[in-house]
């Protein structure tokens, strides 16, 4: 064991010892150290505290036979902590070589540290677990990195890697990615879900009908997630906490962080049937599709969206399919989690028509690149690589910085999805460039 490994071990032991002063599953009579009893009453049911310790988290896997670390009732609120990746070993000062070693030394498991599982009384297979995101409070720092020659959208093109550690200025809600470049912060849980139906131990990387590593950046504070329940008690968990992310997450990572507080209320719905997750925001309903093939992920998202429009508007499936392209705004959630993701946003207001136009050339406010191909995977590759190259040419960025900025700030939108040619339109706001500090 080298000096750095010894330091990390001591740090982990210290974190675990400190965290266990708050008893796991204790009813929150004071609701965090700075709150009074009455503050907890703003949230539904009984409020519980769940610290992230080595005893209340798993690194990179989930197993539906894992004993729950907390039991709550439908309608209760849980204030949980989350850790950085690899049981808090991804922290400022750790090099890209050490980050790569964490993956190569631990094959078959994901990088995420997952808090849970939480058993929700009354939840049975066939029910739906409603999860309201009440409050999200990140740590003061985050990180973005690409592992050299591994993972991400373009591992063969990026045999070199780098890691950046970023200060999260939550007062201004920005992080300085590089001098003169600031990323707006919109924290959201990258991984959030319930236990899958299949027994055994599974990597935390691929998302699915259980939710999991969905990386949907619109699922921010105030949103509500609806998850199909597959096992008794649902077994809810979260990790892979993000401060910001681009649609696509092309270099593998968002601005990865941990949460001092992920405050959620859970409710078991007996009269709502779902076979895939759905998300409700203030203005939209979000439906999802996941597959290793982006074409099939698009097909899955289309099918879920058509199903939703039928329910929402009381129209036939054929009518919903014709309506969808004009009202449902579909985005590439991520292309780096084994199963790629598409999510489609359909407005709650049935009077709203039209989606944001898919730009085909640079605008005064956005850089734009487009990929068109019969294969949506190739269209996405073309559009996102063109953005990485454009950032180098027009803004003088290094290859690795361009790759990273695209991962945390680019927005890849699905254009044509019904014809013989698929199109992906990637945009990056010019507003991230600000006056550099002197």
Same structural domain, 340 and 376: no
Report pLDDT digits (tens) over 74-119.
Answer: 999 999 999 999 999 999 999 999 999 999 999 989 999 999 999 9
Report pLDDT digits (tens) over 411-422.
Answer: 999 998 888 999
Same structural domain, 253 and 291: no
Q: Distance between the two ends of the chain, CA-based, in angstroms? A: 42
The CATH number given to whatever domain includes residue 123 is 2.60.120.580
Environment class of residue 316 by beta-carbon count within 10 Å: exposed (0-12), middle (13-18) or buried (19+)? exposed
| pTM for the predicted model, two decimal places | 0.91
Report pLDDT digits (tens) over 311-344.
Answer: 999 999 999 999 999 999 999 999 999 999 999 9
Same structural domain, 254 and 382: no
Same structural domain, 253 and 391: no
* Pairing of β 236-244 and β 188-194: antiparallel
| Residue 122 DSSP SS3 | coil
**Residue 44 confidence (pLDDT):** 86
* Domains: count for the chain: 3
Residue 276 lies in a domain: no
Same structural domain, 64 and 169: yes
Task: Name the residue with higher pLDDT: 352 or 276.
Answer: 276
Q: Give, as one character, the DSSP assignment of residue 64.
A: T
Same structural domain, 338 and 199: no
Give residue 135's pLDDT band: very low, low, confident or very high (50, 70, 90).
very high
Residue 355 lies in a domain: no
Same structural domain, 328 and 377: no
Say how far apart CA 255 and CA 112 lie, in whole Å: 13
Residue 139 lies in a domain: yes
Domain extent at residue 315: 283-347
Same structural domain, 257 and 375: no
Same structural domain, 55 and 185: yes
Same structural domain, 20 and 75: yes
**Residue 220's beta-bridge partner residues?**
none
Residue 438 lies in a domain: no
Query: In the listed set 220, 240, 269, which residue is the last one of a domain according to the structure?
Result: 269
**Residue 39 confidence (pLDDT):** 52
Say how far apart CA 292 and CA 220 lie, in whole Å: 25
Report pLDDT digits (tens) over 368-394.
Answer: 999 999 999 999 999 999 999 999 999
Which among 383, 421, 85 has a CA at the least distance from the CA of 255?
Answer: 85
Q: What percent of the chain has pLDDT over 90?
A: 85
The CATH number given to whatever domain includes residue 378 is 3.10.28.20
């Amino acid at each position: 064991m080298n000096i750095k490994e010894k330091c990390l071990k001591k740090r982990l032991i210290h974190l675990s010892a400190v965290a266990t002063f708050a008893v796991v599953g204790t009813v929150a009579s004071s609701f965090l150290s700075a709150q009074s009893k009455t503050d907890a009453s703003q949230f539904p049911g009984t409020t519980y505290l769940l610290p992230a310790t080595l005893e209340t988290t798993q690194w990179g896997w989930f197993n539906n036979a894992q004993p729950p670390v907390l039991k709550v009732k439908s309608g209760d609120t849980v204030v949980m902590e989350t850790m950085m990746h690899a049981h808090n070993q991804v922290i400022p000062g750790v090099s890209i070589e050490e980050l790569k070693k964490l993956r190569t030394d631990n094959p078959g498991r994901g990088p995420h540290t997952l808090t849970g599982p939480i058993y929700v009384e009354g939840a049975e297979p066939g029910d739906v677990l409603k999860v309201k995101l009440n409050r999200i409070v990140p740590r003061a720092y985050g990180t973005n990195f690409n592992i050299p020659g591994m993972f991400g959208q373009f591992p063969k093109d990026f045999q070199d890697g780098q890691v950046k550690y970023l200060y999260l200025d939550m007062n201004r809600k920005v992080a300085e990615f590089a001098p003169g470049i600031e990323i707006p912060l919109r924290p959201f849980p990258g991984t959030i879900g319930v236990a899958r139906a299949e027994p055994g131990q599974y990597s935390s990387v691929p998302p699915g009908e259980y939710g999991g590593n969905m990386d949907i950046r619109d699922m921010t504070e105030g949103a509500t997630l609806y998850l199909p329940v597959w096992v008794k008690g649902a077994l809810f968990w979260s990790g892979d906490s993000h401060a910001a992310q681009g649609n696509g997450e092309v270099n593998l990572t968002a601005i990865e962080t941990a949460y001092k507080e992920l405050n959620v209320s859970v409710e078991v719905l007996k009269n709502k049937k779902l076979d895939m997750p759905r998300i409700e925001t203030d203005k939209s309903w979000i439906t999802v599709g996941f597959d290793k093939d982006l074409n099939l992920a698009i097909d899955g998202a289309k099918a879920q969206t058509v199903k939703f429009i039928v329910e929402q508007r009381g129209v036939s499936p054929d009518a919903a399919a014709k309506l969808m392209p004009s009202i449902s705004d579909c985005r590439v959630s991520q292309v780096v989690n084994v199963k790629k993701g598409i999510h489609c946003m359909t407005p709650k207001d049935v009077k709203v028509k039209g989606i944001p136009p898919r730009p085909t050339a640079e605008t005064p406010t956005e850089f734009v690149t487009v990929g068109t191909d019969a294969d949506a995977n190739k269209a996405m590759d073309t559009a996102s690589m063109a953005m990485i190259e454009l950032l180098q040419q027009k803004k003088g960025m290094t290859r690795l910085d361009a790759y990273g900025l695209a991962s945390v700030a680019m927005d890849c939108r699905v254009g044509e999805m019904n014809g013989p040619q698929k199109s992906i339109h990637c945009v990056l706001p010019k507003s991230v460039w600000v006056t550099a500090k002197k």
